[in-house]
């Protein structure tokens, strides 16, 4: 797909990896719908940067854990410019949940926001893409979907579910819509991670370093432009998944 003039909706598109994805797709000529839940200032900053570079961007707010918000977001995005051509499910909740202390509220927050919302948004927009005869969906999962962190189990389960949804939607929406995933490894340290912990993570990769949001954005752009890849997960982890056992923190 030539992204020039296409409308791309990026959830969580104003912060961290989502921001890098928004800017990368805009640099390819896509028009952006930048979604945010609470980070309006960051979303406005990303949109302003896109516009300054000569691109187009609109802001859309929604809480992806709420089905009514998912439906509203899909409708607003579809109305923005005659239909969404690209959906990137980047928004994600992430917090520590030691197995002894996991609550139902923790489970619901992580599974609803990271799996239920993205799935129903992809289904709604994917069916519209299929009806128009073209579309791309890229889900941002995690390398830990395959090797879960014991103290982040609901998060890892949500990402494993999104990986399964990627394959299922690829089959359901073929051949006109391609659905893929990108699984980041060590890209951005979580808040509170010490320098020694960062160094330990880096040493656990084959490349001996952390990646950057631009690595994920480039992979997303590649999958959006390719027309002969579907149902696949592209792991961007510096070789961490080959280097040794999963962490225990």
Catalytic annotation, residues? 155
Contact 70, 120 (CB under 8 A): yes
| Torsion 190-195-196-198 (CA) sign | positive
Nearest to 33 by CA among 50, 58, 56: 58
| CA distances in angstroms from 29 to 9, 12, 34, 147, 175, listed in the order given | 13, 20, 15, 36, 24
Query: What length is written for the chain?
Result: 249
C-alpha count within 13 angstroms, C-beta hemisphere, residue 226: 18
In whole angstroms, what is the distance from residue 174 CA to residue 14 CA?
30
Q: How far apart are the first and last CA of the chain?
A: 41
Residue appearing with tokens 């909706």: 9
Tokens (6 digits) for 128:
């519209």
């Amino acid at each position: 797909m030539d992204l020039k003039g296409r409308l791309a909706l990026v959830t969580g598109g104003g912060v961290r990896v989502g921001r890098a994805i928004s800017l990368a797709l805009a640099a390819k000529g896509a028009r952006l719908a930048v979604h945010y839940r609470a980070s309006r200032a960051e979303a406005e900053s990303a949109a302003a940067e896109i516009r300054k570079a000569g691109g187009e961007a609109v802001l859309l707010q929604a809480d992806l854990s709420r089905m009514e918000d998912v439906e509203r977001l899909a409708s607003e995005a579809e109305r923005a410019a005659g239909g969404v051509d690209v959906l990137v499910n980047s928004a994600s909740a992430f917090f520590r949940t030691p197995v002894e202390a996991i609550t139902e509220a923790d489970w619901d927050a992580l599974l609803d926001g990271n799996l239920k919302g993205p799935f129903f948004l992809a289904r709604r927009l994917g069916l519209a893409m299929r009806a128009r005869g073209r579309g791309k969906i890229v889900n941002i999962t995690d390398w830990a979907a395959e090797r879960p962190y014991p103290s982040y189990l609901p998060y890892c389960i949500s990402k494993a579910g999104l990986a399964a949804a990627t394959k299922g939607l690829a089959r359901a929406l073929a051949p006109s819509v391609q659905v893929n995933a990108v699984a980041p490894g060590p890209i951005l340290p979580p808040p509170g991670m010490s320098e020694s912990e960062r160094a330990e993570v880096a040493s656990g990769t084959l490349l001996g370093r952390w990646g950057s949001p631009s690595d994920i954005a480039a992979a997303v752009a590649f999958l959006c432009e390719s027309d002969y890849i579907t149902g696949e997960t592209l792991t961007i982890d510096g070789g961490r998944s080959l280097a040794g056992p999963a962490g225990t923190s």
